Chain A
Amino acid sequence: MSPYMSSPLTQAPRLETDRLILRSPETRDAEAVIAFLLDKEHSEGFGGEDNRGDAWRWFALNVGHWHMHGYGYFTVALKACDTPVGLCGVWNPEGWPEPELGWVVFADHARKGYGREAAERARLWAYQDLGLTTLTSNIVPSNEASKALARALGARYERTYVNIAMGEDELWRHPAPADLATGV
């Protein structure tokens, strides 16, 4: 007999906020994520995709990102009905400058404060559960909405650099765990 039976796929934990659930990406979320990635006006910060095949592949590789690192993008869903409204989590593919706190709220659900609610919860999880001691956010220079949320989260512009996937990109740094705890 083999000592092996199966290789478990790493799952995301389930986190909650007042209005949202952060959970593992499930196959039922694929169409919402694919539609977002194909909408290049809104998905530039995630690289955008030109065709369904590449968007599908991004959905698959996010599942694999969780398995490789033990973290990745959560599906952000409404607590009331489990409708996916965005993505939020920690991203760090090969070639990335360092682990990044990333977020997006899909266009139909924007301007309700979901981005901040999800990002604060994911950041707390990254510090308390993953044990990360610092976090950055990589923001495309033209994305003013994302910079505004970064500021609201207490992050500060650190430098402009060339990202392996995104090209010219800004790196913003979040308050350290101790500074969050004391509210500095």
Chain B
Amino acid sequence: MAHEDIPVLETERLVLHGPAPEDYPKFAGMFGSRHSRFMGGPLTEYETWMLYAAEIGHWRIRGFGMWVIADKKTGDSLGMTGGWFPEGYPTPELAWMIWPSAQGRGAGLEATMAARRWLYETQGWEGAVSFLDPKNYKATDLARRLGAQLDEGVKAPDSREVVFRHPSRDEVDAADAAANALLRPQIEKERQ
């Protein structure tokens, strides 16, 4: 069933909520610049706006989609994460993007773990893949911290991308525990 309302998820430091008009400027800053070069960008302002609108509409059609990641304390938008399955994709993808100014805090890891768990627990996903440009080291590093591994037996929709396969639903508890251990020092540091 499609959602008329986008669920809100909460983690220790973050809130994941539906993309709103107020969150658009950060998205536009990403896709209007070279920071989006591993995600098909840069795009024109028209293409960028249409992509953002499509990410919102994806929720109604698929019942899942991309959340905006917000800092729980400040409300600042840090990036997006969630499930992405436009027509033409061979399989749904667990995807994320972190705005350049918000990188280095583990927000992508913390948010994407929560998104993955929600997709597994409520949407019937048995597993997940991410399609990544192998030159996008920040993304491939994050995929590995999520416990995902390169799967050379499968093709990504874009020939420049490779497939990372995430721990399955049965394996995700152990993967999350390992990722949480990696996050702990940063979370403690921010508390002080």
Contacts and interface: CB of A to CB of B under 8 A. Distances in A.
A63 B61 contact: yes
Contacts of A53: 86-88
Contact of B46 (A6, A59, A60, A94): A94
Interface string A48-82: 00011101110111111101110000000000000
Given A61-B50, A95-B46, A7 B18 contact: yes
Nearest to B49: A94
B49 A93 contact: yes
Contacts of A62: 53, 57
Given A52-B87, A53-B88, A93-B50, A6 B5 contact: yes
B131 interface: no
A145 interface: no
B2 interface: yes
Interface residues of A, number: 32
A181 to B, nearest CB: 31
Contact of A95 (B17, B44, B53): B44
A60 B54 contact: yes
B53 A65 contact: yes
A7 B61 contact: no
A165 interface: yes
A164 interface: yes
The 10 closest A-B pairs by CB, nearest first: A7-B18, A64-B53, A63-B57, A53-B88, A56-B87, A64-B56, A60-B57, A94-B49, A6-B5, A61-B53
